[in-house]
């Protein structure tokens, strides 16, 4: 859709959304009144900055259903995502919302290379997590045959990949690493598998992991991004022919903004900050300027196939950012450095400790198969590179190939904070 037309659509949808929220959600009516805003004041997305931000804390205070904008009789599904503390975040969908969910995931699948008639090996977890059922619905809408494997049980995953011959697979990037490593270990030739495309997301990953899983599974791997609060997977998706240039945000449904992490000011395209979404079309659980806490930037790509805006890969979550001796650190920055050294693989974790009030970071990282992990020169080189690019001295612990525990199917935590 031409950009001008897209803006008109977004404006119209936003006006409608604000009117609905004012009428149907007491939380928003109160918030808008406090901000001195009447629904009629909002003419379109250019006015978004006048509207208040919604945070995870707001959802927590309205647990479990108080932010729903439709009576339970209209709700057809409920998902929940667990956070680091306490109660989960609960989200609901009407039939109309489930339709949007299917639609945006189907679009994402096509961008990733999938086509009707192909088989999908779906290794995202089924259950309250939006990954399994979300991908399932989108693939069904597209006309694929879904194999609902769910996460874990690696033996069975490998059997299905070999025997059911899916052309497309989806799972977390860390689990794709596990599957690639297992293939290598068991002498399964990835070229003999039929799988061509991998749709990976639900956690941050970088080019280092892409290189590894594309070689290890003989696939083209693209990024899928999303969060339960906004819909689930399928908020944005990378195109298979434009890998590494960002993921298209389906902005006819989810309008993105980037805000300064400290001041909350809207930042121009290209600048990095906190990603915020307004759901333009959802009925049961619509959100106004919801702060995802994810750090990235937005840009329009004049060379892209589509007109929609792109978001860069997520660097990390604002609340996951480590502050080490005053330096801000996302673990993906260490992953980027690992990627520049050809004797390492991106199987790693960061261990954070405190020694006499000083924060210390140790990097445990595996060497490639056949490389000596006791090589002192390699250790020194990695420490130097981290110091030069990130500005922090870290203790380096090179590990033998295959010795660091990987993902068993779900999201992998790469930080062990022992402080
Ligand atoms: O993880 C939805 C999803 C399922 C996305 C399957 C992609 C594939 P939640 O459990 O609510 O939803 O977690 C959302 O996960 O705010 C990000 O911090 C992180 N995240 C999701 N996708 C990506 C990605 C699902 N591609 C939270 N890159 C988000 C980086 C991601 N982080």
Delimit the CATH 3.30.300.30 region(s) of the chain: 321-417
Residue 146 token pair: 């879904």
What are 366's strand-pairing partners?
Answer: 399
Is the CB of residue 132 below 6 angstroms from any atom belonging to ligand 1? no
Closest approach atom of ligand 1 to CA 294: 18
Tell me, letter by letter, the H, E, C secondary structure of the chain.
CCHHHHHHHHHHHHHHHHHHHHHHCHHHHHHHHHCCCCHHHCCCHHHHHHCCCECHHHHHHCCCCCCCCCCHHHEEEEEEECCCCCCCEEEEEEHHHHHHHHHHHHHHHHHHCCCCCCEEEECCCCCCCHHHHHHHHHHHHHCCEEECCCCCCHHHHHHHHHHCCCCEEEECHHHHHHHHHHHHHHCCCHHHCCCCEEEEECCCCCHHHHHHHHHHHCCEEEEEEEECCCCEEEEEEECHHHCCCCEEECCCCEEEEEECCCCCCECCCCCCEEEEEEECCCCCCCCCCEEEEEEECEECCCCCCCCCCEECCCCEEHHHCEEECCEEECHHHHHHHHHCCCCEEEEEEEEEEEECCEEEEEEEEEECCCCCCCCHHHHHHHHHHHHHHHCCCCEEEEECCCCCCCCCCCCCCCEEECC
- 310-311 and 415-417 beta bridge pairing: unpaired
**Looking at residue 118, what is its pLDDT?**
98
Residue 382 token pair: 């990695």
Expressed in angstroms and rounded, the spacing between residue 381 Cα and the centre of ligand 1 is 33
Residues of the chain short of pLDDT 70, as ranges, are: 84-85
Task: Find the Cα–Cα–Cα–Cα dihedral 135, 141, 145, 146, rounded to 10°.
Answer: 20
- Choose which CATH entry (3.50.50.60, 3.40.1160.10, 3.10.180.10, 3.30.300.30) describes domain 321-417: 3.30.300.30
**Looking at residue 85, what is its pLDDT?**
66
Q: How many CA atoms lie within 13 A of 33 on its CB side?
A: 8
| Residue 168 and residue 114 in contact, taking contact as beta carbons nearer than 8 Å | yes
Could you read off the pLDDT of 161-191 as tens digits, one per residue? Answer: 999 999 999 999 999 999 999 999 999 999 9
Q: Whose CA is nearest to atom 14 of ligand 1?
A: 227
Q: Which pTM was predicted?
A: 0.96
Q: How many CA atoms lie within 13 A of 218 on its CB side?
A: 12
Closest approach atom of ligand 1 to CA 292: 16
Domain boundaries 95-317, corresponding CATH code: 3.40.50.12780
Is the CB of residue 102 below 6 angstroms from any atom belonging to ligand 1? no
Place of tokens 């004049």: 302
Among 239, 368, 256, 358, which residue's Cα sits nearest to residue 10? 256
Probe ligand 1: pick from 101, 104, 210, 226, max atoms within 8 Å of CB? 226
Is the CB of residue 190 below 6 angstroms from any atom belonging to ligand 1? no
Expressed in angstroms and rounded, the spacing between residue 226 Cα and the centre of ligand 1 is 5
Expressed in angstroms and rounded, the spacing between residue 192 Cα and the centre of ligand 1 is 31
Expressed in angstroms and rounded, the spacing between residue 89 Cα and the centre of ligand 1 is 14
**Looking at residue 84, what is its pLDDT?**
62
Angstrom distance (rounded) from CA 132 to CA 233:
9
Is the CB of residue 228 below 6 angstroms from any atom belonging to ligand 1? yes
Q: Whose CA is nearest to atom 29 of ligand 1?
A: 227
Could you read off the pLDDT of 281-314 as tens digits, one per residue? Answer: 999 999 999 999 999 999 999 999 999 999 999 9
**Looking at residue 319, what is its pLDDT?**
85
What are 248's strand-pairing partners?
Answer: 237, 310
| R_g over Cα of the chain | 22
Angstrom distance (rounded) from CA 92 to CA 99:
13
Delimit the CATH 3.40.50.12780 region(s) of the chain: 95-317
**Looking at residue 326, what is its pLDDT?**
86
Is the CB of residue 234 below 6 angstroms from any atom belonging to ligand 1? no
Angstrom distance (rounded) from CA 12 to CA 342:
51
């Amino acid at each position: 859709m031409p950009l001008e037309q897209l803006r008109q659509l977004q404006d119209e949808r936003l006006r409608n959304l604000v009117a609905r929220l004012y009428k149907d959600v007491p939380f928003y009516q109160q918030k808008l009144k406090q901000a001195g805003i009447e629904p009629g004041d909002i003419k379109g997305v250019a006015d978004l900055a006048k509207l208040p931000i919604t945070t995870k804390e707001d959802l927590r205070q309205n647990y479990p259903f108080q932010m729903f904008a439709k009576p339970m009789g209209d709700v057809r599904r409920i998902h929940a995502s667990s956070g680091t503390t306490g109660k989960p975040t609960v989200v609901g969908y009407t039939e109309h919302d489930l339709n949007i969910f299917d639609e945006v995931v189907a679009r994402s699948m096509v961008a990733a290379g999938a086509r009707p008639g192909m088989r999908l090996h779906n290794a995202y977890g089924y259950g309250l997590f939006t990954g399994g059922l979300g991908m399932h619905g989108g693939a069904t809408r597209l006309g694929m045959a879904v194999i609902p494997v769910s996460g874990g049980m690696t033996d069975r995953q490998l059997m299905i990949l070999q025997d059911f011959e899916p052309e497309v697979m989806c799972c977390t990037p860390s689990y794709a690493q596990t599957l690639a490593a297992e293939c290598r270990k068991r002498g399964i030739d990835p070229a003999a598998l039929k799988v061509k495309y991998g749709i990976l997301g639900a956690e941050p990953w970088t080019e280092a992991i892409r290189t590894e899983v594309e070689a290890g599974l003989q696939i083209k791997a693209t990024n899928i991004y999303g969060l339960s609060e906004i819909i689930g997977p399928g908020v944005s998706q990378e195109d298979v022919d434009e890998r590494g240039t960002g993921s298209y945000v389906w902005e006819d449904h989810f309008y993105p903004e980037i805000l300064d992490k400290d001041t909350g000011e809207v930042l121009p395209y290209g600048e990095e900050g906190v990603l915020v979404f307004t759901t333009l079309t959802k009925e049961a659980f619509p959100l106004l300027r919801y702060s995802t806490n994810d750090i990235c930037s937005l840009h329009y790509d004049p060379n892209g196939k589509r007109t929609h805006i792109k978001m860069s890969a997520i660097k990390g979550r604002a609340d996951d950012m480590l502050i080490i001796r005053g330096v801000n650190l996302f673990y993906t920055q260490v992953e980027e450095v690992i990627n520049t050294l050809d004797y390492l693989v991106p199987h790693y974790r960061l261990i954070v400790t405190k020694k006499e009030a000083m924060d210390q970071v140790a990097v445990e990282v595996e060497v490639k198969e056949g490389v000596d992990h006791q090589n002192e020169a390699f250790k020194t080189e990695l420490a130097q590179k981290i110091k030069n690019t990130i500005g922090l001295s870290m203790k380096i612990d090179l590990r033998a190939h295959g010795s660091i525990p990987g993902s068993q199917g779900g999201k992998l935590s790469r930080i062990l904070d022992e402080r």
